[in-house]
Amino acid sequence: MIYIIFGELAMHGFAGGMDGFEELNKMERKKRRLKRHDRISFSATLPGDGSGVFAGSLCVVKLSKDPFSDIRESILDMIDDAGVRDWNTMEELVYCYIALNSPEVHEIIVNAFLSLCYS
């Protein structure tokens, strides 16, 4: 097993302009994520040079039996929650995951991102 750090966007401020159905979907995804992250050991913050759309994110640590799948799912959640639509923002997200995790997890993070690019 390996410890990995996930990003979670603070939910306040992202509901503006959404209709009721989208709001409900977002709340349901948040509930599922909270259940999935029931083994959180502590919180952290982004490095000082982390800014932009992810600056308000909360980072959590999780012990994972399947880090590739867990990281990939977390990345998809972050892309959806932040509304990532361009490559520069995607690079910033990659940087956040790399900066917050130990070198032994970096290859898994890169492979998870690449799997999303090629899917």
Give the phi and the psi of residue 95 in degrees, each rounded to 5: -60, -45
What local confidence, expressed as pLDDT, does residue 6 receive?
58
Q: What are the structure tokens assigned to 4, written together? A: 């990995």
Using alpha carbons, select from 86, 84, 81, 89 the residue that is nearest to residue 23.
Answer: 81
Closest CA to 96 of 45, 61, 24, 34: 45
Residue-level pLDDT, tens digit, the chain, 119 residues = 455 555 554 333 333 334 444 554 565 566 566 555 444 434 444 555 555 667 667 777 788 889 999 999 999 988 888 888 888 888 888 888 888 888 888 999 999 999 998 87
Residue 40 has a pLDDT of 40
Which of 67, 68, 50 has its CA nearest to residue 59?
50
Report phi then psi at 44, rounded to 5.
-145, 175
Residue 86 has which token pair?
Answer: 């361009």
pTM of the entire structure? 0.60
Contact 59, 7 (CB under 8 A): yes
